[in-house]
């Protein structure tokens, strides 16, 4: 066995799913003895067999990746409970294993994956799905890029055909529940060091925290970063529609038409709303130069 074959062999063994008791499997999916495989390249010592030494790496790999997902979704963990949450994460990672050099990307497809796996959420599927979307939006906003905001002179030059660029860290969400209240409550009552799953810490299940009641209520959220802090900002339906249309590349006049297409506001009220939207966006730096404009070299 050369070095490359050894690396591939160990990678396969380390990433093999654990048993329901969080132990290394004794057989592969093809029926091979994992103990015999371990003996072929892992040297035992006076305390541990080859199997036991390999099991340490196998378990630590899974505890680390489960912990990484858990840290991104503490509110979803609180809603589902640790046992169901751990089972969900294991199923997700088996179907969508880590392929990136960074653990940051590991959870990126979980909201999309959860949408077609209601067996882990039961009657609270929509609520759980919205929590997952909001918690991932937090991650995206926290480490998303911040481009140079438009200056005052840039804002004055905006016209009907202007296509505005939004900050990459700005996330726009239309929700059926006020899930930001639940997510904030969990983060407030859970120390950062405890925002991990029971599997990743191998601790006994703790008493579940009391979550705020959730009743259906249409909510539009802008998740954004300001001074290195992520905020959940409630916006109205028209603001959400306007910003979404701008993000899709629509010119300003067309985006405004989409935003107020079904609005019952009078023209005067619409004008006041538009002034309010632009004042808030300018204050928070939501409108920015495109990446090409930000990196362009002035012509001498």
When divided into structural domains, the chain yields a total of 1
In a domain, 6, yes or no: no
Q: Which residues are bridge partners to 175 per DSSP?
A: 219
54 domain-assigned: no
pLDDT, tens digit (0-9, with 9 covering 90-100), for 215-240: 999 999 999 999 999 999 999 999 99
Within-domain flag for 41: no
The closest of 106, 100, 166 to 136, measured between CA atoms, is 106
Is 200 a residue whose pLDDT tops 80? no
The verdict on residue 270 lying in a domain is: yes
Segments forming the whole domain that contains residue 97: 73-295
The pLDDT-based confidence of 201 (bands split at 50, 70, 90) is: very low
| DSSP H helical ranges for the chain | 3-14, 34-39, 50-72, 74-80, 82-95, 110-115, 125-143, 152-156, 179-189, 198-201, 237-247, 252-259, 267-284, 291-295
Asked if the structure places residue 56 within a domain, the reply is: no
pLDDT of residue 295: 56
Q: Is residue 99 part of a domain?
A: yes
Among 50-59, 64-73, 185-194, 282-291, which range has the highest average pLDDT? Answer: 50-59
Q: Within 10 A of 73 (CB to CB), how many other CB atoms are there? A: 30
Residue at 225 is within a domain: yes
Name residue, tokens 């378990």.
59
Q: What is the pLDDT of residue 293?
A: 64
Query: 32 falls in which pLDDT band (50, 70, 90)?
Result: very high
Q: Which stretches does DSSP call E strand in the chain?
A: 165-166, 171-175, 219-226, 229-235, 287-288
Which pLDDT value is given to residue 277? 96
Say whether pLDDT at 8 is over 70: yes
pLDDT over 90 at 299, yes or no: no
* 57 domain-assigned: no
Task: Taking each helix axis as running N to C, give the angle between helix 50-72 and helix 3-14, from 0 to 180 degrees, rounded to the nearest 10.
Answer: 60
Which H/E stretch holds residue 207? none
pLDDT per position as a tens digit, 111-147: 999 999 999 999 999 999 999 999 999 999 999 999 9
Comparing 181 with 206, the larger pLDDT belongs to 181
Between CA 204 and CA 198 the distance in angstroms is 7
* CA 239/CA 236 separation, integer angstroms: 5
Count other C-beta atoms under 10 Å from residue 236's C-beta: 15
Residue 193 has pLDDT above 90, yes or no: no
């Amino acid at each position: 066995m050369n070095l490359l074959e050894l690396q591939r062999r160990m990678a396969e063994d380390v990433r093999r799913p654990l048993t329901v008791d969080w132990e290394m499997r004794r057989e592969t999916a093809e029926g091979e003895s994992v103990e015999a495989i371990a003996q072929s390249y892992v040297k035992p010592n006076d305390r541990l067999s080859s199997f036991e030494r390999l099991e340490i790496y196998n378990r630590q790999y899974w505890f680390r990746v489960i912990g990484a997902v858990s840290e991104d979704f503490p509110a979803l963990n609180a809603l589902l409970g640790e046992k169901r949450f751990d089972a969900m994460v294991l199923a997700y990672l088996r179907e969508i294993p880590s392929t990136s050099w960074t653990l940051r990307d590991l959870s990126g497809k979980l909201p999309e994956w959860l949408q077609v796996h209601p067996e882990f959420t039961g009657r609270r599927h929509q609520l759980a799905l919205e929590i997952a979307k909001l918690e991932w939006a937090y991650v995206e906003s926290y480490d998303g890029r911040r481009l140079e905001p438009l200056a005052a002179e840039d804002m004055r030059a905006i016209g009907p055909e202007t296509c505005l660029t939004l900050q990459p860290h700005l996330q726009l969400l239309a929700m059926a529940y006020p899930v930001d209240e639940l997510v904030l409550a969990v983060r407030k009552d859970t120390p950062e060091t405890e925002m991990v799953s029971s599997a990743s810490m191998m601790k006994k299940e703790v008493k579940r925290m009391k979550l705020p009641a959730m009743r259906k209520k249409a909510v539009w959220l802008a998740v954004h970063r300001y001074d290195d802090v992520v905020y959940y900002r409630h916006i109205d339906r028209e603001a959400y529609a306007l910003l979404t249309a701008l993000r899709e590349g629509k010119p300003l006049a067309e985006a405004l038409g989409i935003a107020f297409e079904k609005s019952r506001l009078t023209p005067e009220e619409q004008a006041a709303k538009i002034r309010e939207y632009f004042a808030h966006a300018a204050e928070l730096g939501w409108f920015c130069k495109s990446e090409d404009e930000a990196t362009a070299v002035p012509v001498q």
